[in-house]
Amino acid sequence: MLALVLAKAMLCIGLLSLLACESPLPTPYPSAMSFSREQGSPRLLLQAQPQLSIEQQLDWAVGKSFATQAWVSGPASTTARDGLGPLFNANSCVGCHQYNGQGQLPEHGPGLILRIAPSGAQHQAYGEQLQDHALTGTLAEGQITWQTVSALLANRQGIVAPLNHRRYYIKNGQYGDTSELAYSARLAPALIGMGLLDGISDEDILRHSDPDDRDGNGISGRAIQRWDAASQRFRPGKFGWKASQSSLKQQIALAFSQDIGIRSPIYPAANCPANTPNCETQHEHEISAKLLDAVTNYIANLAIPSPRHNADFEKGFSVFQQLGCAACHIPATQTHIRASYPQPANSSTLARSETIYPFSDLLLHDMGPALADEHNTDNTPATEWRTAPLWGLGMRSIDPDHTRLLHDGRANSIHAAIFWHGGEAQLSRQQYLQLDSNSQHFLLNFLKAL
């Protein structure tokens, strides 16, 4: 509690001066969204959604401080943020989600983690995730290395596109032979829009689920039920590449546990090295329920970029629909706006709904063998992936030298990402390859405008 009060006091003056400089935003296309800020706004991914009150922005800024500042090993004089490790992948949320954006490929920095399994089961020493950093005096579990695998795919006109991707491995593994392990890479996603996804009702997700393809359209997206610690029941998964978590708060708690080595009331077990099974500190939890709520509130209320309604937007959207992309990347859905986490019991905020445009049904779909994991993970088949939301896609693909799309960042352009689609998206991909150059141009410009 003291940490929250002190953080508010330190941030108040600077935040009020920042608020005074902000100007009204133009109405975004296709509908006014209270969470949107215009693309091109300075440090867009670091900004709060624009309709928070001053008091709410102060609460938001407190959560920001615990998401962005480094956690340290305990015991330390900074008791509010000590307890790092002993094994971890980064020492803060933004260590992997730099500037709240995507993770980096290993040669450029943190942000890609390696899931591990021998024939699909949890490894008794490594666990389910490689931690490639450790506190002084403790050895990291190993380092990430890879081999590049090349493939080619030609479209109807005979134009060949290289489809290089990586097979990841562990080098310098601390627990013996790793040759029998299977590996699955996961790129940290951008953090924007997660509070809006959290507000989509379970009923809306289930309404789009069609695992048996009863309508015969070739799309059999399914909702997967995940345990929700807060409600003590199973709910449809929404977060993660495999829809492995049903709430934003639980997803953040998992990241604290696996990526930073920080225990919480949701994940209270210490992430100990295999040769030091009892590494618990004197703290019951390194992050309290109140501070976990503060970080959740910060991430939930990040602004999302508004689409750029350029001359090709409507033409490209028409092509998007004609190809059947909207069958999985559903453009619009309803969300319940939450101004703060946890939601006060007497608040009527949840009654306020808004149409948002994430371009996702949040369901699992079979994406074919080319995108498949090496093994089943998160109780899902290796070929199944949650439909990735497309908002902010333009910002993520603006720099061709640093574009990292799909679950392991293998695609360096939107065009390449479409080439990788298979399974339920096979027909849409084939139709995309048969488009004339003008139609492809309209489609890609539409996606870059999101």
**Quick one: pLDDT at residue 159?**
62
Specify the range with the lowest mean pLDDT, choosing from 222-231, 235-244, 280-289, 316-325: 280-289
DSSP-derived secondary structure for 245-270 = BSSHHHHHHHHIIIII----SSS-S-
Residue 222 dihedral angles phi and psi, to the nearest 5°: -135, 145
**Quick one: pLDDT at residue 23?**
30
CB contact set of 157 (below 8 Å; sequence gap of 6+)? none
Residue 19 has pLDDT above 50, yes or no: no
Residue 84 dihedral angles phi and psi, to the nearest 5°: -55, 140
Instruction: Report the pLDDT averaged over residues 229-236.
Output: 95
State the chain's mean pLDDT as an integer. 86
Q: How confident is the model at residue 96 (pLDDT cuts 50, 70, 90)?
A: very high
Specify the range with the lowest mean pLDDT, choosing from 119-128, 268-277, 321-330: 119-128
> Is the pLDDT higher at 310 or at 224?
224
| Most confident by average pLDDT, 114-123, 178-187, 281-290 | 178-187
**Quick one: pLDDT at residue 10?**
46
Specify the range with the lowest mean pLDDT, choosing from 177-186, 249-258, 287-296, 416-425: 177-186
> Is the pLDDT higher at 419 or at 341?
419
> Is the pLDDT higher at 33 or at 61?
61
CB atoms within 10 A of CB 434: 13
Pairwise CA distance, residues 141 & 170, whole Å: 9
**pLDDT over 90, % of the chain:** 64
Residue 171 has pLDDT above 80, yes or no: yes
**Quick one: pLDDT at residue 158?**
60
Task: Say how many Å lie between the first and final Cα of the chain, rounded.
Answer: 40
**Quick one: pLDDT at residue 434?**
92
Q: How confident is the model at residue 161 (pLDDT cuts 50, 70, 90)?
A: low
Residue 18 has pLDDT above 50, yes or no: no
**Quick one: pLDDT at residue 33?**
73
What are the E-state strand segments in 163-303? 165-171, 182-187, 225-228, 233-236
CB atoms within 10 A of CB 230: 12
Residue 395 dihedral angles phi and psi, to the nearest 5°: -65, -30
**Quick one: pLDDT at residue 212?**
93
Instruction: Report the pLDDT averaged over residues 353-380.
Output: 93
Instruction: Report the pLDDT averaged over residues 273-282.
Output: 73
Residue 179 has pLDDT above 50, yes or no: yes
DSSP-derived secondary structure for 30-87 = SS--TTEEETT-TTGGGSBPTT--HHHHHHHHHHHHHHHSPPB-SS-S-GGGB---SE
Instruction: Report the pLDDT averaged over residues 408-427.
Output: 94
Instruction: Report the pLDDT averaged over residues 12-30.
Output: 37
Residue 211 has pLDDT above 90, yes or no: yes
352 conformational bin, left if phi > 0, alpha if psi -120 to 50, beta if neither: beta
Instruction: Report the pLDDT averaged over residues 186-191.
Output: 96
Q: How confident is the model at residue 348 (pLDDT cuts 50, 70, 90)?
A: very low
- Is the bond preceding residue 342 a cis peptide, omega within 30 degrees? yes
**pLDDT over 70, % of the chain:** 85
**Quick one: pLDDT at residue 31?**
42
Q: Which helix (H) or strand (E) holds 17?
A: helix 2-21
* The two three-digit tokens of residue 378, written as one number: 């998160």
Residue 252 has pLDDT above 50, yes or no: yes
Instruction: Report the pLDDT averaged over residues 161-168.
Output: 85
